[in-house]
Homo-oligomer: A and B are copies of this chain.
């Protein structure tokens, strides 16, 4: 039967696009190299009709399917398990931009389009596709949609969910739902679009999407502020909302230890104010102005002046040009790399209501210092969205590998308990995948879990789509 399925798949997509031999690492290993599976085959359909035919063939054979885009996810959601029975359905060949509609401020694109290419397509049309995140050079929009990716522009433009007007989806039965409407208002039944977005390939396979575009700002300015406390950073955020309105497109906070790692491992990046011992946090602000650079600069200066008077900012620089702005952003973007240079660490992607972030950080910092002596907290993230990458670096002395082996579970537990205490989420923008299935069981409401299982059962009764991701496998 295995051979019959492979033969059928070859007939559907062509011999060259069914991979069963050779080095399949790119499809079988996850981005962070935490896990490696074994694919029964990697199938690379070139059209929606082929995706539907592949799904039907797999359903006939009872073969589970793992949909995959750029395979850059951080929660182990797009690689096969170790059984060798799962078919990886890679969407990277489906990379057409089907339409750009400037008057409607939309574009319709296939799931395999690389995010950065879509940013470029929008720019060429004189418009902006604002989704932006670290993996943008290799992640695909299908994966962004399947995981409801976040990134650095969420404070203004929302998550991927908020940028999508319509979807084309292949159902677990191999039917095609043609939901690609470019409509900003459409109240014709249940919101299937948002159900598929963020479902991580467990309810259907997204093959195309109609996405929102925005006018390009006339100018974009970046500032770096030294702030005396997390409370001050939250106060600065409120002021920035008030002064800049929707021109506030970025608001990132970075703790002193995180910035110190960048200064140590990438000295060429020149972290502002790092020599001032009394600066516990840096804040990166971005102001995208629809008018002019002069206007953006005047608005930024007015904001910072108010902030100085208030005391929530002790020092600040506004980038003089694009290259300076990029340099400031590079500092923020290189924190994960500096962390890796420093050694092993435990990553968290949590969110808490913005108003409670100062209390959460104080509580969690003290808790970890007490319970896990010597840990170093690499705290940075999208404060404008209440989203922190509250990472825990192994102690400077001792065996980091042993620390992770012995302590990761307990550290996660401490952090997630703290998050729950402050009404937060243990997975803000990275999703559940396989990595956090148990955490979802532990922290999601039982009533919600029951509804999620009922929906999975209703749409994918045989459980063939990405089994064991988001929801635990049925016993």
Which A residues fall within an 8 A CB radius of B? 101-106, 147-148, 150, 154, 156, 158-159, 161-162, 171, 175-179, 181-192, 194-195, 197-199, 203, 214-215, 217, 234, 237-238, 241-247, 289-291, 299, 351-356, 382, 385-387, 423-432, 440, 443-445, 447-452, 454-459, 470-471
Contacts and interface: CB of A to CB of B under 8 A. Distances in A.
Nearest to A183: B351
Contact of A245 (B215, B385, B386): B215
B290 A425 contact: no
Contacts of A150: 185
A21 B445 CA distance: 40
11 contacts: A103-B354, A106-B353, A150-B185, A175-B447, A177-B447, A183-B424, A191-B191, A194-B194, A217-B245, A245-B247, A245-B290
Total copies of the chain: 2
A440 B458 CA distance: 21
A243 B425 CA distance: 38
A171 B451 contact: yes
Contacts of A195: 190-191, 194-195, 455
A217 B243 CA distance: 9
A161 B184 CA distance: 11
Given A425-B186, A470-B190, A451 B459 contact: yes
The 5 closest A-B pairs by CB, nearest first: A245-B290, A246-B246, A103-B355, A194-B194, A458-B458
A187 B428 contact: yes
A435 to B, nearest CB: 12
A192 B194 CA distance: 9
Contact of A425 (B183, B291, B385, B454): B183
A177 to B, nearest CB: 4
Contacts of A444: 188-189
B353 A451 contact: no
Contacts of A241: 105, 214-215
Nearest to A245: B290
Contacts of A455: 190, 195, 455, 458-459
Contact of A190 (B242, B382, B445, B452): B452
A432 B188 contact: yes
